[in-house]
Structure 1
Amino acid sequence: MSDVPCLNCGACCATFRVSFYWGETDAAPEGIIPSLLTEQVNLHYSCMQGTNQPSPRCVALLGSIGEGVRCSIYEKRSSTCRDFSYHGENGQSSPACQRARALHGLPPLPFDPQGPELIPTIAA
């Protein structure tokens, strides 16, 4: 089992709009994000389909929130996704991660701010 909680979460992918510069899509010469999975936000920005809705969920997210998820375009994901850290990653707090988890009824992720590792929890 992976120590990365994202594989059992996915809350961020079903909470926030995933917007990025349109040049990250494969419609641009150096872009890699499949443009068929995006929509235009404005002249300069696109977003992943499904994330610009009142109840967002990225079209690339597979699985059930809080149970088991994966990104169907993980290797081609946007800079927005690459830059999003889970709470405790690299010893850093992520209020956005915690907020997304709370919105989906998931418990907060504990971590030790003195080190990069998640605090182990004991199953009841």
Structure 2
Amino acid sequence: MHPCLTCGACCAYFRVSFHWSEADPELGGTVPLALTEPLRTHERAMRGTSQAHPRCIALDADIGRYSRCTIHDRRPSVCALVPASWEFGAASAQCDKARLAHGLPVLTPDDWVGVAETDKNPLPDI
């Protein structure tokens, strides 16, 4: 099983901000506008992530037990850019920081033993 499916820490630790066009369907944006809020002139944020204790509105999780993004196929590009540690052969400072903040151990290469390459989240072409 992919380690992210039992984590969710990054979605409950970081602010998720992105260019407003990602939530504008007329410009090809796919992030549901209703799940976002204005942030700065050219940015929106996922609701729930611009507060002292962030938690993305699209997160369905019990951190460290189960996790899923309810808009995974329409998530903001910044979410797709955060790999899990060792998913692609290197540690991820963001992943490690979020996991530690939630009392979870950082991932190691051993956490990927048995995870099929096809089950890994592909890095986006940006």
Instruction: Report TM bin, short chain.
Output: 0.7 to 0.9
The one of 106, 112, 120 equivalent to 1:118 is 112
For structure 1, the residue ranges without an aligned partner over 5 or more in a row are none
- How far does residue 26 in structure 1 lie from its aligned partner after superposition? 3.4
Distance 2:21 2:50 in 1: 18
Greater helix fraction, Structure 1 or Structure 2: 2
TM-score by length of 1: 0.86
The one of 42, 45, 48 equivalent to 1:44 is 42
Distance 1:27 1:59 in 2: 19
- How far does residue 107 in structure 1 lie from its aligned partner after superposition? 1.1
- 4+ runs of 1 displaced by more than 2 Å? 26-29, 117-120
**Larger RCO of the pair (alpha carbons < 8 Å, separation 6+):** 2
In structure 1, the residue matched to 2:119 is none
In structure 1, the residue matched to 2:30 is 32
- How far does residue 27 in structure 1 lie from its aligned partner after superposition? 4.9
* 2:67 alignment partner, SS class: strand
In structure 2, the residue matched to 1:60 is 58
The one of 88, 97, 100 equivalent to 1:99 is 97
For structure 2, the residue ranges without an aligned partner over 5 or more in a row are 115-126
Provide the alpha-carbon RMSD of the alignment: 1.6
- Deviation digits for residues 43-77 of structure 1, max 9, x if unmatched? 10111000001000000000200000100101100
- How far does residue 28 in structure 1 lie from its aligned partner after superposition? 4.0
The number of equivalent residue pairs is 114
- How far does residue 110 in structure 1 lie from its aligned partner after superposition? 1.1
Identity of aligned residues (%): 46
- How far does residue 119 in structure 1 lie from its aligned partner after superposition? 5.6
Q: Contact 1:110–1:119 at 8 Å: present in 2 too?
A: no
In structure 2, the residue matched to 1:20 is 18
